Amino acid sequence: MARLALVLAAWLAGGAAHAVDDPYPWIASAYLVKRDGVVLWAGQPDAKLAPASLAKLMTALIALERGRLDEPVTVGRGVLQATGTRIGLKPGEKLSAGDLLTATVVRSANDACRALADHIGGKSFVQTMNQRAAALGLTSTHFADPCGHDREGQYTTATDLTLLAEQVMRHDEYLRLARLERVTIRTLDGRSFALRNTNALLGRYPGVIGLKTGYTEGAGNCLVALAERDGVRVLAVLLNAPNRWWNAVGLLDRAFAAAR
């Protein structure tokens, strides 16, 4: 990862550090980088694109704002429709809402996400997501699936995702989960699931906290990366970034370097 940082830093060396510029148009279909809440660089930040599992940021936010994470949840048959990343939940199993949230954040597990969404809001959960998005001023976001599967009419922007991420960052529990490289959760009758975080920056990039990864065929590789060093926080959002790990490392490094 250190070698990747050196290589990408060299590529980025000529970029201008102004929010009005798009110094790195090859990085992603859309991206935005903030340092301590101030925009450094952005490219097509208001382009409406598929969010992939970055949609889970909203699902997690709703779960955290609702609370009651110790509440037992009976997994419904909706998990049988989950595709992509799953941990293998079975209808009828019982877990705490907090453990379902853990699997949603750490492993980006679609079956855990679906079980959590069904428990909180059932068929109206997507409506709740859109209502919360409107309340947050996410004017260019519309959800159609709680877990980020490609769906017609589902889109967001780098600008809106930055605002959503900043709201999620207010919750210490989310930050705790996002940092976990590995964790084990269990059903109430003892079946265990060993989870490994989908964020390849954890354990490799100094100061990284999270926040969320995503991939679908329609969205491509997506990432919301948060890192902190010496009290400085850098947040980077990338949508459809073919080389998201290289790109994230370079952007974070350059943002931290500009703070010195």
Active-site position among 29, 34, 96, 108: 108
- Report the pLDDT value the prediction gives residue 22, as an integer from 0 to 100: 75
| 53 part of the active site | yes
- Report the pLDDT value the prediction gives residue 78, as an integer from 0 to 100: 86
| 56 part of the active site | yes
Peptide bond into 136 cis (omega under 30): no
Active-site position among 29, 34, 56, 96: 56
pTM of the model: 0.90
- Report the pLDDT value the prediction gives residue 41, as an integer from 0 to 100: 93
Backbone dihedral angles phi then psi of residue 37, each to the nearest 5 degrees: 85, 0
Counting as low any pLDDT under 50, the low residues of the chain are 2-20
Backbone dihedral angles phi then psi of residue 29, each to the nearest 5 degrees: -65, -30
Centroid of chain to Cα 129: 15
- Report the pLDDT value the prediction gives residue 179, as an integer from 0 to 100: 97
From the candidate CATH numbers 3.30.70.2470, 3.40.710.10, 3.40.50.300, 1.10.490.10, the one assigned to the domain spanning 47-232 = 3.40.710.10
- Report the pLDDT value the prediction gives residue 44, as an integer from 0 to 100: 95
Other C-beta atoms closer than 10 Å to the C-beta of 2 total 10
Active-site position among 29, 34, 53, 96: 53
| 90 part of the active site | no
Q: What is the pLDDT of residues 179-209, one digit of tens each?
A: 999 999 999 999 999 999 999 999 999 999 9
Residue 55 near residue 150, CB atoms below 8 Å: no
- For residue 54, give the nearest of 73, 90, 72, 28 by alpha carbon: 28
- Exposed e or buried b per residue across 40-56, where buried means at least 16 C-beta atoms within 10 angstroms of its C-beta: bbbbbbebbbbbbbbbb
Q: What is the pLDDT of residues 123-149, one digit of tens each?
A: 999 999 999 999 999 999 999 999 999
Please give the full DSSP string across 190-210, using - where no structure is assigned.
S-EEEEE-S-TTTTTSTTEEE
